[in-house]
Amino acid sequence: MKNDLAERRADSGESQADLAAAVDVTRQTINAIERGRYDPSLELAFALAAHYDSSIEDIFDPDIE
């Protein structure tokens, strides 16, 4: 699943550790999501969207064909 999490995080001046602490996951989880190696749970996707005051669809693109 594609996402623009790294760009949003960089624009806000946060480190991966900052974002991880804000949504109660590990920095490694944020890294894996940003690299497209891990798809977040629905609960985590909602937490990330709320953190950036966005919708899940604004951050994540399921790339369904």
Under DSSP, the state recorded for 56 is H
pLDDT tens digits, one per residue of 22-36: 999 999 999 999 999
Q: What range does the domain containing 8 cover?
A: 2-53
Joined tokens for residue 25 = 């996951």
Per-residue CA distances from 44 to 8, 54, 59, 60, 61 (Å): 16, 13, 12, 12, 15
List beta partners, residue 61.
2
pLDDT tens digits, one per residue of 43-62: 999 999 999 999 999 999 98
Q: What is the CATH number of the domain that holds 11?
A: 1.10.260.40
Burial of 1 (0-12, 13-18, 19+ CB in 10 A): middle
Whether residue 58 lies inside any domain: the answer is: no
Whether residue 37 lies inside any domain: the answer is: yes
pTM given for the model: 0.92
Joined tokens for residue 33 = 């999501």
Whether residue 49 lies inside any domain: the answer is: yes
